[in-house]
Amino acid sequence: MRKKIVAGNWKMNTTVAEGVELAKAVAARSSEVPASVKLIIAPPFTHLVPVGEAIKGTGIGLSAQNCADKEKGAYTGEVAADMLVSAGCGYTILGHSERRQYYGETDAKLVEKVKIATAHGLSPIFCVGENLDEREAGRHFEVVTEQVKNVLYTLSAEDMAKVIIAYEPVWAIGTGKTATAEQAQEIHACIRKVVADKFGDLAGEITILYGGSCKPSNAKELFACPDIDGGLIGGAALKADDFIAIALSF
Ligand code: 13P
């Protein structure tokens, strides 16, 4: 049985004090969520240590939103994988479309990031997804397949086993437009097949999350799909009650 996960990507929101308060509110309700569902929260770098304290003992996982493609040294402004581990992270989001789009992250850079993250024992939450033009041109399967192949095919099976994949169609992020359960399921099945082509049966064990305007009102339908193992939640993760409601939607 693969893990069900609901992960909250806080993006660049909340002050440290607000973030700690949000984390405490999530922690206070986390025991309502069945043990079969793993909660993860991904606050900004500045919040990791105090948020880690706030969720201690709850089983909620702590994730970064990015990680450097270098081990250490003169790379001003970057945060290395071992620093994230020392701050209490077990996960890091990598390849989010906002990083690809606004910060020029390429597949080549993501190969380095995924390798470094897994080498330090972090589980990457590796994001893929097509933009609106690609969807309208009917290229969504092709785009997502290439993103998975270009980066994840470079991993050993041992490191691939640590990866969580998140399918986030760019046109659904923060727009209120959600992929239909059918649209999401067919891409998730495609991603699993692409993983299986390289890694065989391991593909059945890989958690694949849906992200993009996922909220309490649509999570149930999405999570009922056979290849959708949970969600990567943006806006709705900033409200503890909505985040918990999504986690109760399996
Ligand atoms: P929204 O849930 O705000 O659409 O964001 C999704 C996302 O990008 C999560 O990483």
- Asked if pLDDT for residue 62 goes beyond 90, the answer is yes
User: Could you give the maximum distance between any two Cα atoms of the chain, in Å?
Assistant: 47
Q: Which ligand 1 atom sits closest to the C-alpha of 96?
A: 10
Catalytic residue among 105, 130, 168, 188: 168
Name 184's Cβ contacts closer than 8 Å, sequence gap at least 6: 167, 210, 222, 225, 228
Percent of all residues in the chain with a pLDDT value above 70, rounded to a whole number: 100
CA 242 to chain centre: 18
Residues 89-143 pLDDT 10s: 999 999 999 999 999 999 999 999 999 999 999 999 999 999 999 999 999 999 9
Q: How many Cβ atoms are within 10 Å of 24's Cβ, its own excluded?
A: 15
Q: Is 212 in the pocket of ligand 1 (CB under 6 A)?
A: yes
When the pLDDT of each residue in the chain is averaged and rounded to a whole number, the result is: 97
Q: What is the domain partition of the chain in residue ranges?
A: 4-247
Q: Is any ligand 1 atom within 6 A of the Cβ of residue 174?
A: yes
Q: Quick one: pLDDT at residue 176?
A: 87
Indicate the SS3 state at residue 94: strand
Q: pTM to 2 decimals?
A: 0.98
CATH (one of 3.90.950.20, 3.30.300.90, 3.20.20.70, 3.40.800.10) for 4-247: 3.20.20.70
Single-letter amino acid, residue 138 = G
Task: Tell me the C-alpha distance between 163 and 122, whole Å.
Answer: 9
Contacts 24+ apart (CB under 8 A), 100-108: 101/170, 107/146, 107/147, 107/150, 107/151
What are the pLDDT digits (tens) for 179-224?
999 999 999 999 999 999 999 999 999 999 999 999 999 999 999 9
- Whole-number Å distance, alpha carbon 169 to ligand 1 midpoint, is 10
